Amino acid sequence: MAKYYYHKRSSKAFRKILALGIIFLGIIISGYVFFPLLSWQIYFAPVFASQNIEVPIPKTTVITGGTFTNLLGNAGRALTTDLTQAGNWYPNFASAQGSQAKTYSISIPKIGLKDAVVTNSNGDLSKQLVQFNTDTIPPHNGNTIIFGHSTLPQLFNPKDYKTIFANLYKLGPSDLIEVKIDNVEYIYRVQSVIVVEPEDTSVLSQNFGDSYITLITCTPPGTIWKRLIIKAKLEKI
């Protein structure tokens, strides 16, 4: 009888531990999936509100069935796709190719970024910023598209290319981006800040009417839910 009683108590204890484990796992998964909504409210809504920037996401996000599906899909993609490789950001979109292979640097004083290396000959975002296209380079006319990795703002390290664009969301119109190429420095002034869906390739369009740079990273911080797009134009001397 004593053995049976001991076995029964052990079985009940195991079931309790298993139930608690399942509940804890559920909380972790839910937090991971819905973190983008929380981080949007924590980091982005206040900043964009103070800058009076209009973005395609309302300040109060309405949660719908489509929102759940979108968050779950992006959470799964984050686990299965290596986003330190620039070629995985827009896998169905061919980048504009040309002969202007180049390595240069950019600095963004407002967020403490100094001489970050940019290349259009290597797609590894863990080692540098990556220029998506090779049909133009600064300061020539055209839209130079630069990808950069991001993570939670508190993990920002200007020397770590996996966190280098974590504070990019702090930029607003009229902020400056400095481009140094062949030992000559050019100044670009931010024109617009927008947030788009990750499948929106309109931000990759070319424009040879003037000299532009477009900075792209994932947003909100620490997620791949949306894309933050910073577009700047060359300041004429």
Do 122 and 209 belong together in one domain? yes
Q: Which domain holds residue 37?
A: 2-80
Please state the pTM of the whole predicted model: 0.73
Averaged pLDDT, 114-143 = 94
Do 35 and 74 belong together in one domain? yes
Averaged pLDDT, 219-231 = 86
> How many domains in the chain?
2
- Does the pLDDT of residue 224 top 90, yes or no? no
Do 99 and 202 belong together in one domain? yes
Averaged pLDDT, 215-237 = 88
- Between residues 42 and 180, the one the model is more confident about: 180
- Does the pLDDT of residue 79 top 70, yes or no? no
**Cβ pair 186, 107 in contact under 8 A:** no
Average pLDDT over all residues of the chain: 79
